[in-house]
Amino acid sequence: MAENNASSPGDAPEKSIVWKVILPILIGLCVVVWLFHKEFSMELWRSIHFDGHVVLCIFLAWLCMAGRDFGLTWRFRTLTDRDLTWWQALKVNFMCEFTSCITPSAVGGSSLGMIFMHHEGINLGRATTLMFTTLFLDELFFVVACPVVMSVIPYAELFGFSGSHFEIGLRWVFWLVYAAIFIWTAILFLGIIVKPNGIRSALIFIFKLPLIRRWQPAVIALGDNMVAASKDLRTRSLRWWAETFFATALTWSSRFLVVNALFMGFVPSADQLVVFGRQFVVWVVLMVSPTPGGSGVSEWLFTEYYGDMLHNGGIALIIALFWRIITYYVYLIIGIFLAPSMLTPRKGAKAFRK
């Protein structure tokens, strides 16, 4: 009997996922090896004592990341009016983070959240509405947090500490990205809260221009989704908005505090407020990283940006490695186990709530 070499239908997606996991890992490892060759020494490693204090702070960093997961899971539960169980919401959270790890940072995992919510039984139209809400809440957090960070942390501690080309470039990238976030947040606010039909018409008109006309179908779909989202979100109470925004703030703050916990362990003398503020800057800049999940760029940016607070590139690299393991690599591993089940045919969709 002839041997059957045909692949099963599920082979291609699984192979695709494997390669999308391998690629960011390889990029990150290459940069780490280069940084180790540049900054690391065995004398430095021997000088680090993993005593009870350091171990406790590493554990605290994991707890901070657990706070981030709780915040996002809580937000998905609130957004779906508790139609998702805690376990379903946690799976959606993990899958969103996993897709963020294997796609360029500008794409992000939140944009695929509607697919994962749909898989867990949420009507696709409703899931699309909720996707816009998560995008709006995340961008709104950065818009609101920026003036707060700038008002409590000296500007020179964020951008004027060296006057180097790196610091000048970082400052320009940060403000350009923040300006884009501000504009995008304003469009989302007008599009899903204030004037959805007006924003839809304006976007369609703009994308009639010859150079960008090829994107008009996607913009029309975007406008239609905004109008649909607006019908639901306009009926939401102030308490609902406050709860979802608080969950969003908890999510991002917990993510930033991971680095604070690591600095408390390895460099307890560091100014924790500055450490937190620089994490805000790092995550804004990483939004335009071209690599999957910011792999490679994150490690390099961290060691360069925090180098002046440590006076030792090797210590910065060690903290960066713990930071990436806790906030990045662990989600790659979780995603590998969750992805096969999340790619199976979805459950019956729940009706759209009015």
DSSP secondary structure string, 154-181?
-HHHHT-SS--HHHHHHHHHHHHHHHHH
- Over residues 55-100, the pLDDT tens digits come to 999 999 999 999 999 999 999 999 988 999 999 999 999 988 888 8
Residue 110 · residue 95 · CB < 8 Å: no
- Position 340 scores a pLDDT of 74
Could you tell me the pTM of the whole model? Answer: 0.82
**Span 296-300, average pLDDT:** 79
Q: Is the pLDDT of residue 347 over 70?
A: no
**Span 255-269, average pLDDT:** 93
Tokens encoding 38 = 């540049």
Tokens encoding 82 = 């508790």
Q: CA of 329: how far to CAs of 43, 147, 343, in Å? A: 27, 31, 21
**Span 284-295, average pLDDT:** 80
- Over residues 145-188, the pLDDT tens digits come to 999 999 999 988 888 766 678 888 889 999 999 999 999 899 88
- Position 5 scores a pLDDT of 46
Residue 18 region by backbone torsions, left for phi larger than 0, else alpha for psi between -120 and 50, else beta: alpha
- Position 23 scores a pLDDT of 64
| Confidence class for position 312, pLDDT limits 50, 70, 90 | low
- Position 33 scores a pLDDT of 65
Q: Is the pLDDT of residue 257 over 90?
A: yes
**Span 227-232, average pLDDT:** 77
- Position 178 scores a pLDDT of 95
- Position 291 scores a pLDDT of 74
Give the least confident one: 108-112, 179-183, 221-225.
108-112
- Position 38 scores a pLDDT of 55
Mean pLDDT, the chain, whole residue set: 80
- Position 348 scores a pLDDT of 46
What is the C-alpha separation between 182 and 199, in angstroms, rounded? 16
| Confidence class for position 7, pLDDT limits 50, 70, 90 | very low
| Confidence class for position 324, pLDDT limits 50, 70, 90 | confident
- Position 239 scores a pLDDT of 92
Torsion of CA 91, 256, 248, 250, to 10 degrees: 90
- Position 177 scores a pLDDT of 94
What is the C-alpha separation between 354 and 254, in angstroms, rounded? 33
Residue 174 · residue 214 · CB < 8 Å: no
- Position 350 scores a pLDDT of 45
- Over residues 15-27, the pLDDT tens digits come to 555 555 666 666 6
Q: Is the pLDDT of residue 276 over 80?
A: yes
Name which of 77, 123, 31, 53 is nearest 351 in CA terms.
123
- Position 201 scores a pLDDT of 82
**What does the longest C-alpha to C-alpha distance in the chain come to?**
76
**Span 189-218, average pLDDT:** 78
| Confidence class for position 10, pLDDT limits 50, 70, 90 | very low
